[in-house]
Amino acid sequence: MSKTRDLRDPALYINRELSQIEFNFRVLAQAQDPATPLLERVRFLCICSSNIDEFFEIRVAALKFGGATIGPDGLSTQETLQRVRARALELLEEQYRLWNRTLRPALAAEGIQVLLRDEWNAKQRRWLQGYFQNEILPVLSPLGLDPAHPFPRILNKSLNLVVLLKGKDAFGREGNMALVRAPRSLPRVIRLPPELSDGSQDFVLLSGVLQEFVEELFPGMQVKGSYQFRVTRNSELSLDEDETENLAHAMKEELQERGFARAVRLEVADALPKATLKILMANFAVAEDDIYRCQGPVNLNRVVAIHDMIDRPDLKFPKFTPRVEARINNVPTVFDAIRGGDVLLHHPFDSFATVLEFVRQAATDPGVLAIKQTLYRAGKDSPLVGYLIEAARAGKDVTVVIELRARFDEEANLSLADRLQEAGVQVVYGVVGFKTHAKMMLVVRREANGLRRYVHLSTGNYHASTARTYTDLGLLTCDSEIGEDVHKLFQQLSGLGPVIKLKRVLQSPFTLHKALLAKIEREIEHARQGRPAAIRAKINHLNEGGVIRLLYEASQAGVQIDLIVRGTCALRPGIAGISDRIQVRSLVGRFLEHSRVYWFQNGDDPEIFCSSADWLERNLIRRVETCFPILDAELARRAYDEEIENYLADNQQAWALDAEGRYLRIQPGEAMPHSAQQSLLARLCGG
């Protein structure tokens, strides 16, 4: 193939939405893998289901309602929607086949039964009928549909029944159709008492209980049929920030309506009659291509409750204790440890407790004058938030930049902002038009030699729960130049100043994209001059056209490029004469791969950076992000070994992307089996 081929040719790019669906096939593969512990297989199935929910709420909704632009692959919106539906139907079929034919029987073989209605014995049915009458029926509000009772508003992703009726009610009204909405206060999975289970642990789904006893909601009438359905709605907020005077107030108002936005998908029981389906379609204003028939519960992701309700360590991943470095434990304070040298934290293998302790000590240390922090996602009842409040009440200057538009955490962040402000914390809502996705913290401390800045920078959120399930890198440092950079970044976020010049930290939307392109161009020049040239990066997503085109040029120039891209990837590797020196792999395992690490050979002077930004257009151009170097040579080597070499050697949970856009699972062959995540557990946690 000619090297002069136009690098903007759409054939050189993979569609973003289709790539995102392919990622979920890889997630589902974890649920299909017999080597994965059984209850973890159930969890992966539910993660896949939940991921697809969000995919429809955001990406498909954008395609349908005009929020998406044509990507470098050149596919029209309509063509993308058609291909998305075809692949989504295949994924749906595999999900339910796996649940019905494999996982549910496998659970039963382990004494964990998820019973269907026709599997209940007489005693179980009597107990469930009593449970329905005492715990469920009092909170239900069935609605018969007639001219006085039009079709109600149905909440996004809620469980509902459409009930077909025959006969007359107490007022002599002819029954035809009714709706039963399941309040979210009701548990979706119900455990039967041990005395009814003959030694096993038996569960039933709320949907089955509702269907079995729904006739009790309509006394004197005959139930001809009852069928589950669930509607998925557009969940992207359409707030016009430029026209909004009070962002928090406007956000609260819009969130109240998000659950009832335009429908994008309708999931229905497979047996739902066509005539009834047409009524639902008309009321939700959806087309035939928006209908997905389910061979089981329409809210399959709710089955994850079983994983949490069952205490069977033999059917779950082994527990582990995150490491706390001896250097942290062997000094009086975290500040002493940082002054002794930078600290690199690799979560979840290194304990997030170190970060929490850093904030706790900063809140109580009389020498600390100020704490500044970004919060994108913090989690419910985060101890970190309590420490910030404690610091403010102790008279320290505390500033928190909260991103109100963190998707699906908007309400939590609004509540968090109110709580912090009530305690005297200065809360900043970021920058209009640019989500603040950067993860950084600055502590200003008075010491014998004057003021010193202590900094924490990270690839992940300040969220204690996800820090146990996401892989991320964090850096604790008191390097003066990095400290000065982070101080300027906080000034920029809280004030209205001009573009600033930073010494060490790269920043979106100003310098990161340009610097990334410049570093790729530098590798191209090294290769042309016969010097060592290579690029290795671990990121979550890649779609930015300028970066991809330059990577193609780098491959043509002789630069070896190894990319570890967990999720969506628009680049096509392995095209002769274009990208034959580019390899792309994806790894899906026990922990969600979330860290972003960029490494450049740079002749004989390698550089390594960690970042909050993926190589997406939104991250590089339309968000506030940080990218920071690992300056300590030993820590730089550790970051490279653990996050690059280790993952490139994985032959247990890694997938290779080919030029056709297909992912093929990498097999050990004659090589020794190597799992990157398990290797880190063994190396850092001893398990």
Which residues are catalytic, by number? Answer: 437
Which pair of tokens denotes residue 170?
């107490």
Q: 66 φ, ψ to 5°?
A: 90, 10
3-state secondary structure of 439: coil
Count of Cβ atoms closer than 10 Å to residue 552 Cβ: 24
Of 635, 307, 649, the residue nearest 476 (C-alpha): 635
Count of Cβ atoms closer than 10 Å to residue 5 Cβ: 15
Of 102, 89, 104, the residue nearest 33 (C-alpha): 102
* Cross-strand pairs, 399: 372, 426
Is the link from the previous residue into 152 a cis peptide, with omega within 30 of 0?
A: no
Contacts with 487 (C-beta within 8 Å, 6 or more apart), sequence order: 372, 442, 444, 453
CA distance readout (Å), 167 to 151, 212, 470, 670: 20, 19, 55, 71
Which pair of tokens denotes residue 617?
């257009």
Report the C-alpha gap between 5 and 634 in whole angstroms: 42
Q: 472 φ, ψ to 5°?
A: -150, 155
419-455: burial string, b at 16+ Cβ within 10 Å, e else: ebeebebebbbbbeebbbbbbbbbbbbeeeeeebbbb
Q: Are 186 and 206 in contact (CB under 8 A)?
A: yes
* Torsion sign (Cα): 338, 343, 349, 355: positive
Of 179, 146, 145, the residue nearest 160 (C-alpha): 179
Report the C-alpha gap between 482 and 455 in whole angstroms: 8
Q: 220 φ, ψ to 5°?
A: 85, -5
